[in-house]
């Protein structure tokens, strides 16, 4: 630029009344706020929508800034206070970008007058263009009138969330001589959009005269979410699952009196209580539409035998005094037979439908049968028979003479087991097993106290876990693992019954004919026929297991079974111990310490 041009610019240019910051903003373009980048522990605002420089919003902003002189930079933030759920912000952010782009593009076209329809052309103007020369040969120069700039009022633009629980507003500024945003204009726009519920009136009143009323996103209305009712619930006063595990103290002893198998309840006592479901609370959208809510579902009281439901249907009460038991589907109360002393001639044999609590001993020769649990504070003496449909706890132990028989459908907890025949469907836990025949459908645990198994035979379907197996004197101790021990016990008992009846029948046939002989003979024959029929239906478990293995070998020739579920774990095993897995047998000829025996690839392996 020459010196003359500089002087002319200084003398004749108009003085700007804008601040340096405003002049710099006009020269460089709008400042678009962006989310701060992560630096030094700060994180970006996930609710802030970044606006690229070429976005139509920036063009509208520049247009308004040139008219007004100064305008705060745009800010599109869905959640300024961080009060909205993050999932709502993330879901609506993508929708907002699309809606905002479309609204800004439409507003920009209106501001540039591109949406204004063109009228019919003037024929005189067309004639003048076609014949520009008039009389005298001179050209008439005329300038066409310039189109008037568009005049647009301020326009509130609303964005409603997908669930219609939130509504935001962003106001476009007026164009030309259009009307500025007013309170009435904003409320009329809200009414036209149907946003009538949960409107923030304080924000609406303040927005019309706020400095940042244009190109800023505000949460203008908030709906009421629906709340579903809570489901009904049962509060139990008695445990549903009883942990039947005895803990070992620091002296390696177990207190068998601490095993409480019988949970006593009095007549009319509450067993469990029902918490009724609550009703759902419906919600409301910003468009004043109801959001339905689900009510909680009720649960039935687990009513079982000897229980009743109270009049208000919120309590389960016991109708008799007894022992509470949960059967898996309902609570039931079993009657309890309490024997204050021994089971002897004063009580006779016991056969009870509920639980039996014996404070003394079961004397030799007596029988105790119960459908539920049996708790014996003393011992089971020689020649006795005990059968329990639940659990059996013997505080002082089982002392037999080879003829003592105990059958339990669940678990047995005993101080010791000596010279007895035991059949337990689940687990057996004791301190010592001596010279006994054990048939266990689960695990035999002999870890507390002496923790030894000496002599006899122990057959467990799953595992035998003991401290000592056998003895230094090399007494014969047999450990059988896997198979179906309880089924084998029933088969053996039935076979003994058949043998006994056959011998009795032979003795009767040798007697002199008499009416008594004929009566006994016919009864014995009927019993023998029934026993034989039962024996035929019960195939020998050992033979059936052998057949199954043979079938597997035929189906898969050349392949052997990889693993049997049985397992022996012991700290020390003495010679004289025989291990058996099906048909595989292993005899120990030397002491094995910390050994684990299992069946691998059809062979017994000690690890």
Q: 212: which DSSP letter?
A: T
Q: At residue 131, does pLDDT exceed 70?
A: no
Confidence of residue 126 (pLDDT cuts 50, 70, 90): very low
Closest CA to 180 of 64, 11, 296, 31: 64
C-beta neighbour count of 478 within 10 angstroms: 17
Which position has the higher pLDDT, 442 or 27?
442
Query: Out of 143-152, 333-342, 593-602, which region has the weakest mean confidence (pLDDT)?
Result: 143-152
Contacts of 517 (CB under 8 A, 6+ apart): 508, 511
Q: What is the pLDDT of residue 509?
A: 85
Tens of pLDDT, residue by residue over 89-100, are 888 888 898 899
Q: What is the pLDDT of residue 532?
A: 87
Rounded to an integer, the average pLDDT of 274-283 is 92
Q: What is the pLDDT of residue 553?
A: 53
Q: At residue 36, does pLDDT exceed 60?
A: no
Distance between terminal CA atoms of the chain?
Answer: 100
Q: Are strands 217-222 and 155-160 parallel, antiparallel or unpaired?
A: unpaired
Confidence of residue 114 (pLDDT cuts 50, 70, 90): low
- Residues 423-431: contacts with CB under 8 Å, at least 24 apart: 423/485, 423/486, 423/489, 423/490, 424/486, 425/486, 429/246, 429/254, 430/397, 431/254
Q: Which helix (H) or strand (E) holds 348?
A: none
Q: What is the pLDDT of residue 15?
A: 41
Q: At residue 595, does pLDDT exceed 80?
A: yes
**Cα–Cα distance measured from residue 431 to residue 412, given in angstroms and rounded to the nearest whole number:** 12
The winner for highest mean pLDDT among 130-134, 236-240, 418-422, 549-553 is: 418-422
Rounded to an integer, the average pLDDT of 238-263 is 75
Confidence of residue 562 (pLDDT cuts 50, 70, 90): very low
Q: What is the pLDDT of residue 392?
A: 94
Q: What is the pLDDT of residue 2?
A: 54
Contacts of 571 (CB under 8 A, 6+ apart): 451, 466, 467, 468, 593, 594
**Cα–Cα distance measured from residue 372 to residue 396, given in angstroms and rounded to the nearest whole number:** 20
Give 172's Cβ-side CA count (13 Å radius).
Answer: 26
Q: At residue 217, does pLDDT exceed 80?
A: yes
Q: At residue 158, does pLDDT exceed 70?
A: yes
Per CATH, the architecture of 430-482+564-607 is what? 3 Solenoid (2.160)
349 near 342, Cβ under 8 Å? no
Q: What is the pLDDT of residue 436?
A: 93
Q: At residue 457, does pLDDT exceed 90?
A: yes
408 near 427, Cβ under 8 Å? no
Contacts of 84 (CB under 8 A, 6+ apart): 47, 78, 166, 219
Rounded to an integer, the average pLDDT of 418-442 is 94
Confidence of residue 348 (pLDDT cuts 50, 70, 90): very high
Answering whether pTM is above 0.95, one says no
- Helix-, strand-, coil-residue percentages of the chain, each rounded to 5: 25, 30, 45
Q: State the average pLDDT for the chain.
A: 82
Query: Number of helices and strands (H, E) in the chain?
Result: 10, 34
Confidence of residue 123 (pLDDT cuts 50, 70, 90): very low
Query: Out of 50-59, 214-223, 454-463, which region has the weakest mean confidence (pLDDT)?
Result: 50-59
Q: What is the pLDDT of residue 521?
A: 87
Q: What is the pLDDT of residue 551?
A: 58
Domain boundaries, the chain: 19-113+150-222, 335-426, 430-482+564-607, 493-555
Q: What is the pLDDT of residue 259?
A: 72
What are the backbone dihedrals phi and psi of residue 228, each rounded to the nearest 5 degrees, phi first? -70, 150
Tens of pLDDT, residue by residue over 467-520, are 999 999 889 999 999 888 998 888 888 888 899 999 988 888 888 888 888 888
Q: Are strands 417-424 and 397-408 parallel, antiparallel or unpaired?
A: parallel
Q: What is the pLDDT of residue 542?
A: 55
The winner for highest mean pLDDT among 10-24, 38-52, 561-575 is: 561-575
Handedness of CA 352, 354, 359, 360 (dihedral sign): positive
409 near 388, Cβ under 8 Å? yes
105 near 114, Cβ under 8 Å? no
Rounded to an integer, the average pLDDT of 213-231 is 92
Confidence of residue 549 (pLDDT cuts 50, 70, 90): low
């Amino acid at each position: 630029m020459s010196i003359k041009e500089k002087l002319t610019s200084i003398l004749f240019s108009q003085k700007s009344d804008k601040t340096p910051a405003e002049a710099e903003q006009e020269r460089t373009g709008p400042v678009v706020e962006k989310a701060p980048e992560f630096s030094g522990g700060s994180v970006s605002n996930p609710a802030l929508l970044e606006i690229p420089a070429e976005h139509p919003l920036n063009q509208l902003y520049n247009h308004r800034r040139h008219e007004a002189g100064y305008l705060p930079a745009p800010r599109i933030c869905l959640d300024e206070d961080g009060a909205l759920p993050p999932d709502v912000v993330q879901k609506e952010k993508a929708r907002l970008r699309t809606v905002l782009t479309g609204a800004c593009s439409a507003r920009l076209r209106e501001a540039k007058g591109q949406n204004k329809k063109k009228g019919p052309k003037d024929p005189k103007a067309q004639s003048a263009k076609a014949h520009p020369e008039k009389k005298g040969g001179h050209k008439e120069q005329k300038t066409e009138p310039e189109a008037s700039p568009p005049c647009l009022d301020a326009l509130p633009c609303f964005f409603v969330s997908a669930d219609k629980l939130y509504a935001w507003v962003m106001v476009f500024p007026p164009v030309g001589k259009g009307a500025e945003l007013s309170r009435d204009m904003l409320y009329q726009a809200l009414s036209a959009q149907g946003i009538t519920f949960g409107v923030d009136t304080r924000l609406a009143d303040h927005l019309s005269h706020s400095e940042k009323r244009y190109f800023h996103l505000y949460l203008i209305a908030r709906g009421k979410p629906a709340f579903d009712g809570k489901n009904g619930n049962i509060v139990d006063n008695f445990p549903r699952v009883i942990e039947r595990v005895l803990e070992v103290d620091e002296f390696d002893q177990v207190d068998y009196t601490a095993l409480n198998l019988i949970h006593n309840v009095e007549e009319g006592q509450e067993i469990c209580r029902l918490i009724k479901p609550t009703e759902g609370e419906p919600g409301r959208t910003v468009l004043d539409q109801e959001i339905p809510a689900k009510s909680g579902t009720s649960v039935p009281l687990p009513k079982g035998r000897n229980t009743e439901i109270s009049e208000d249907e919120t309590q389960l009460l016991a109708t008799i005094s007894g022992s509470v038991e949960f059967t898996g589907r309902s609570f039931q109360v079993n009657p309890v037979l309490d024997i204050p002393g021994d089971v002897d001639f004063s009580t006779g044999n016991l056969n009870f439908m509920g639980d039996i609590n014996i404070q003394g001993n079961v004397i030799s020769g007596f029988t105790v049968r119960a459908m539920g649990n049996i708790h014996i504070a003393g011992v089971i003496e020689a020649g006795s028979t005990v059968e329990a449909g639940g659990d059996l706890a013997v505080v002082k132990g089982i002392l037999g003479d080879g003829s003592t028989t105990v059958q339990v459908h669940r678990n047995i907890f005993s101080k010791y087991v000596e010279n007895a025949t035991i059949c337990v469907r689940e687990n057996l836990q004791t301190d010592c097993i001596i010279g006994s025949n054990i048939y266990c459908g689960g695990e035999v645990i002999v870890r507390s106290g002496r923790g030894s198994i000496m002599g006899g035979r122990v057959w467990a379907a799953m595992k035998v876990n003991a401290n000592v197996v056998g003895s230094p004197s090399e007494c014969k101790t047999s450990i059988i693992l896997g198979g179906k021990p309880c089924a084998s016990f029933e088969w053996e008992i039935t076979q003994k019954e058949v043998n006994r009846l056959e011998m009795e029948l032979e003795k009767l046939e040798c007697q002199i004919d008499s009416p008594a002989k004929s009566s006994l003979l016919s009864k014995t024959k009927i019993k023998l026929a029934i026993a034989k029929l039962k024996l035929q239906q019960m195939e020998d478990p050992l033979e059936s297991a052998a057949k199954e293995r043979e079938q597997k070998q035929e189906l898969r020739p050349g392949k052997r079974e990889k693993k049997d579920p049985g397992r022996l774990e012991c700290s020390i095993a003495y010679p004289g111990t025989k291990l058996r897995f099906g048909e595989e047998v292993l005899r120990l000829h030397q002491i094995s310490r910390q050994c684990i025996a299992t069946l691998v690839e059809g062979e017994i392996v000690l690890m």
